[in-house]
Chain A
């Protein structure tokens, strides 16, 4: 059977089924109990009647071939019958008893109770014999009369049930309806909410069973709200950050269009291209960050850190050389970490790019990979201006930039570095470089071997 989909119907079916089941079980137990007691009582009556007849054997059975038919004294009497045989011949019987012994015996007579069929009717018969064994007494009773009593007892049990069950169903229906009112109220409240609503649901006088559900629901609303808020802030921040490069591109392009002097026009066009590059860089950073924030898990594989650092620095070195900076890589021994090579490269690129970008021309940038015991350490140092304590603390806030650097960075690089490091269980430390005097950034990884 398919379970009803409404809670009310379900409860109704369950409760009614259980009540009916218990009732039927009680009826069955009563049936067996009554039958047992009834059998005991009536059997004892049969035995008693037989005993009386046996006691009468003192009477003479001299008239051979003649037997006495006892009179029927009560309308119930036909339901009981008896026979007395003396020396194999019928001596006395009730009017409704047959001539032949009610219990046919083979060679051996057995005393006791027995069910027999007489004229198509079931009888319970008690057979006994007198002390001299020449008298046999049979006392029988129609089984149907016993059944009638049993059925009467059972009817007494079942009739009220037939009447009570529909009433009970109504009562249960009403009680359950009342009981699930808070659920219905919650359902209505939820249905009436605006789809964007994320404020907590309040159900007055909520039953304790519903409190965990409502709390879970409100927890979900709160988390969704926080997520949407951070999403919204990210979009707004991103839009803001894109405004300045786009404004620069637009202004430079407009200048180029209106400029008649060839050198000035060329300058404006170059600045337009530079603005485009910057906007593209910003968009790429935003995309990387949003992918990281969406929780793209790194696909871990062994990464040879020294090799990767050499590759990234080779890419960025021309930028440093153009600025007149010296850049070097110190990675004397192989050092492997577990991580996503692409993401690790993004991390290294951001650190090195920052060092180049924010250091003066003729500055030194040093990138080192050191394996020490179970840790692998990447250190990026520069001889740039360094950073004030409070600024160091704010690094990694999205779009935070140290003001006055004169560089058009997005402030996203650090957020990206921090996220990638966190995804790889690496720690990031920022300090003053003891050797070069600028910023020293250390990323500490669990080493692979």
Chain B
């Protein structure tokens, strides 16, 4: 999952980026409000972690501007402002979650996963398609009860397709969801990962829509 981190404090930003990467997120880090707004408008982030006291443009202003333009990326506000009126204002302005510093990295990751899940209308923690069950928290995949070993990229690709079950995703869209800034993307990387996934989980799970992209076979089902 690719997320945007907007935090102006160098040490905290560095720590959060490293911590979220350990949890399997692809993190892009911006240090001011204007950059945060620009990136959130341009890229299909799964979620954003937004500090409120950002330079150039306050986090709440960024949030309000995005929501005004119906950009629905889930936003977790991370802030030192812990007063109840601040929380209420943040949530009213369109924050999906409000976390006061300092925060536990595991909790932050869990909240982000929950935000992404809910944003895709998925009430359960695990995602499933046909006989495949994907657990985002444990980063594990099981097929017919048997554990299947996937590489990080393969997992992320399957995760993206399962979150968007029923939608066709183009190669570019998948790349945008898989790679953070500065990561080298091979021209046929997505095809290679799809090939590996089909080999490990069966050819029927992921279908190719020629000239358009890829889609998960079958409806979303409860595991």
Interface size class of B (residues with CB under 8 A): 20 to 34
Pair A243/B15 contact, Cβ less than 8 Å: no
- Confirm or deny: B80 has a beta carbon within 8 angstroms of a beta carbon on chain A: yes
Bound: A248/B14 CA distance, A: 8
Assuming the contacts A248-B12, A252-B14, asked whether A258 and B102 have C-beta atoms less than 8 A apart, the reply is no
Pair B31/A244 contact, Cβ less than 8 Å: no
Residue in A255, A278, A403 whose beta carbon sits within 8 Å of that of B8 in the complex: A403
- Which of the segments B16-24, B123-131, B135-143, B207-215 contacts the partner chain? B16-24
Least CB distance from B38 to A in Å reads 15
- Confirm or deny: B104 has a beta carbon within 8 angstroms of a beta carbon on chain A: yes
- Confirm or deny: A422 has a beta carbon within 8 angstroms of a beta carbon on chain B: no
Report B1-18 CB contacts with A as 1/0, cut-off 8 Å. 000000011111011101
A-B contact pairs, 20 of them (CB 8 A): A241-B80, A245-B9, A245-B11, A245-B12, A246-B101, A247-B101, A248-B9, A254-B19, A254-B104, A255-B19, A258-B19, A258-B105, A264-B18, A267-B18, A278-B11, A404-B55, A404-B56, A405-B55, A406-B8, A408-B11
Pair A243/B11 contact, Cβ less than 8 Å: no
Nearest chain-A residue to B99 (Cβ)? Answer: A247
Assuming the contacts A243-B100, A271-B11, asked whether A251 and B56 have C-beta atoms less than 8 A apart, the reply is no
Pair A244/B101 contact, Cβ less than 8 Å: yes
Pair B22/A255 contact, Cβ less than 8 Å: yes
Q: Give how many A-B residue pairs fall within 8 Å (CB-CB).
A: 90
Pair B80/A255 contact, Cβ less than 8 Å: no
Residue in A241, A246, A278, A408 whose beta carbon sits within 8 Å of that of B102 in the complex: A246
The chain A residues found within 8 Å of chain B, CB to CB, are 240-241, 243-252, 254-255, 258-259, 264, 267-268, 271, 274-275, 278, 403-406, 408
Beyond A247-B12, A278-B11, A404-B8, 5 extra complex contacts between A and B, CB < 8 Å = A245-B11, A248-B12, A248-B15, A250-B104, A251-B105
Least CB distance from B6 to A in Å reads 13
Q: Which residues of A contact B81 (CB under 8 A)?
A: 240
Q: Which residues of A contact B82 (CB under 8 A)?
A: 240, 243
Pair A408/B32 contact, Cβ less than 8 Å: no
Assuming the contacts A404-B32, A404-B55, asked whether A255 and B11 have C-beta atoms less than 8 A apart, the reply is no
Nearest chain-B residue to A242 (Cβ)? Answer: B80
Q: Which residues of B contact A248 (CB under 8 A)?
A: 9, 11-12, 14-15, 102
Q: Which residues of B contact A275 (CB under 8 A)?
A: 11, 15
Bound: A83/B16 CA distance, A: 135
Pair B22/A243 contact, Cβ less than 8 Å: no
Nearest chain-A residue to B10 (Cβ)? Answer: A408
Interface centre among B8, B15, B19 (most CB of A within 10 A): B15
